């Protein structure tokens, strides 16, 4: 599961409290599918781009005191000029944040996908700490990691594919 730097229940509870529609992607999604990979360092999610949902997400991120997470930057992150608003979120493709609950990455259109509507189609709900979590399908996680092509993604793709083959029997 995620490193101890991430308070997953706090993030999930805040998203739920604000009624944010989202799907978990990336390494945490793979971990929730019970694939043995190195622990993720951040929670990755794709929110619905609907304007009202982005307003709810902005409120949740403000409650989590979200700030830019930058390489070699201060651990508390860097202030977001103008603050977090739905309009700011609308213009994003991907953003890496630090919050009071740990690292949180948001991708409105993850590599290899068309975004939320594409990912929610085949999602599953998996329990984490007694909380229902909407999670991208394992096939969609693989598709996105292949498209991203980053070294860290390429390292885990064989384990993801092997797990998917076992599931399919």
pLDDT at position 132:
97
What tokens were used for 111?
A: 């590599």
Query: Is it the case that residue 167 has pLDDT exceeding 90?
Result: no
List of E strands, 28-122: 43-47, 67-68, 94-99, 102-107
pLDDT in tens, 27-44: 999 999 999 888 888 999
Under DSSP, the state recorded for 132 is E
CA dist 156 → 11, 64, 129, 169 (Å): 25, 30, 24, 20
pLDDT in tens, 7-28: 999 999 999 999 999 999 999 9
Q: What is this structure's pTM?
A: 0.93
Whether 101 contacts 64, CB under 8 Å: yes
CA dist 64 → 13, 120, 126, 163, 169 (Å): 11, 24, 23, 34, 41
Distance of CA 126 to the CA centre of its chain: 14
pLDDT at position 1:
61
**Topology given in CATH for the domain delimited by 8-168:** Beta Polymerase; domain 2 (3.30.460)
Q: DSSP 3-state assignment of 70? A: coil
């Amino acid at each position: 599961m995620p490193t101890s730097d991430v308070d997953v229940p706090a993030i999930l509870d805040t998203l739920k409290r604000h009624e944010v529609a989202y799907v978990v992607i990336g390494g945490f999604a793979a971990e929730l599918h019970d694939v043995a990979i190195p622990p993720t360092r951040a929670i990755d999610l794709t929110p619905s781009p609907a304007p009202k949902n982005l307003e709810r997400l902005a409120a949740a991120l403000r409650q989590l005191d979200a700030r830019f997470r930058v390489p070699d930057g201060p651990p508390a992150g860097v202030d977001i000029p103008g603050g977090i608003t739905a309009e700011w979120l609308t213009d994003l493709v991907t953003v890496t944040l630090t919050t009071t609950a740990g690292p949180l990455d948001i991708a409105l259109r993850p590599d290899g996908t068309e975004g939320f509507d594409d990912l929610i189609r085949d999602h599953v709900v998996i329990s984490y700490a007694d909380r229902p979590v909407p999670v991208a399908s394992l096939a969609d996680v693989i598709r996105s990691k292949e498209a991203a092509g980053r070294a860290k993604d390429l390292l885990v793709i064989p384990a993801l594919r092997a797990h998917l083959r076992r599931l399919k029997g």
